[in-house]
Amino acid sequence: DIVMTQSPDSLAVSLGERATINCKPSQTVLHSSNNKKYLAWYQQKPGQPPKLLISWASTRESGVPDRFSGSGSGTDFTLTISSLQAEDVAVYYCQQYLRTPLTFGGGTKVEIK
Amino acid sequence: EVQLVESGGGLVQPRGSLRLSCTASGFTFGDCAMSWVRQAPGKGLEWVGLIRSKAHGGTTEYAASAAGRFTISRDDSKSIAYLQMNSLKTDDTAVYYCARRSTLLEDFFDYWGQGTLVTVSS
């Protein structure tokens, strides 16, 4: 199984400042046949289901603000919120979809400082 | 508008059974693979299993924690996916979400239901 390790578990950032969340798969999620990175990011606000933010490590879903960006290699990924807004308070999860079992990171809780 | 609505959750005793339903609308259900993902109280997300579309064999896959106890099925005529859970344990207590596989035919999830709570307790 591909184990997804997220860090930090939580972080507090001032409004307008940058938030950076890390995700490290235990093995590469880069598919050798198409050079695509099989990694997604989700946002989950309290009492709500997760919402897809980013797929293929860096492709934002339609309607997701451009302050959210994803980057990374096969085994080291980052979700960046460039200028934190109050509505971004949530838990963020990474997920690999290279192979089953599909696995999620443990989540990173983002709060306002 | 795509909608996924889970139902069937509730309180069940250990070793009991429960069947969850996920009723879909707003898209061609039969064309899509569906997954179940659960979230224990205060914890993270755990994939339970998936069922592929009939065009892709209608096959199922499960997490190790679900294999042998849980069964996913689908009724495309009713646009419903099911999760049959047997031999339930207290560790199965969670909110269970159904989620649609992306239309790019890769196993990330572009739509989620609101979830249904399953509590396993005596």
Q: Mind listing the pLDDT tens digit of every residue in chain B (122 residues)?
A: 999 999 999 999 999 999 999 999 999 999 999 999 999 999 999 999 999 999 999 999 999 999 999 999 999 999 999 999 999 999 999 999 999 998 777 889 999 999 999 999 99
Q: What is the pLDDT of chain A when averaged over all its residues?
A: 97
Proportion of chain A above pLDDT 90, given as a percent: 96
Please report which helix (H) or strand (E) contains residue A44, including its range.
strand A39-44
Bridge partners of B59, per DSSP, are none
| Min Cα separation A110/chain B (Å) | 14
Q: How far is CA B116 from the centre of its chain?
A: 10
> Identity (one letter) of the amino acid at B36?
W
Give tens-digit pLDDT for A24-63: 999 999 998 999 999 999 999 999 999 999 999 999 999 9
Mark yes or no for CB contact A50/B112 under 8 Å.
Answer: yes
Region A93-98 average pLDDT: 97
Residue B29: what pLDDT?
Answer: 96
Q: Which residues pair with B99 in a beta bridge?
A: B35, B112
Q: What was the pLDDT predicted at B24?
A: 98
User: How far is B95 from B118, CA to CA, in rounded Å?
Assistant: 6
d(CA B99, CA A50): 10
Alpha carbon distance B80, A77 (integer Å): 35
- Residue of A4, A91, A100 best to disrupt the B interface, most CBs of B under 10 A: A100
pLDDT value of residue B103: 78
Partners of residue A10 in chain B, C-beta under 8 Å = none
| Secondary structure letter of residue A61 according to DSSP | P
d(CA B30, CA A35): 30
CB atoms within 10 A of CB A38: 24
Which residue has 């205060």 as its token pair? Answer: B42
Q: Count CB neighbours of B84 within 10 A.
A: 14
B112: β partners: B99
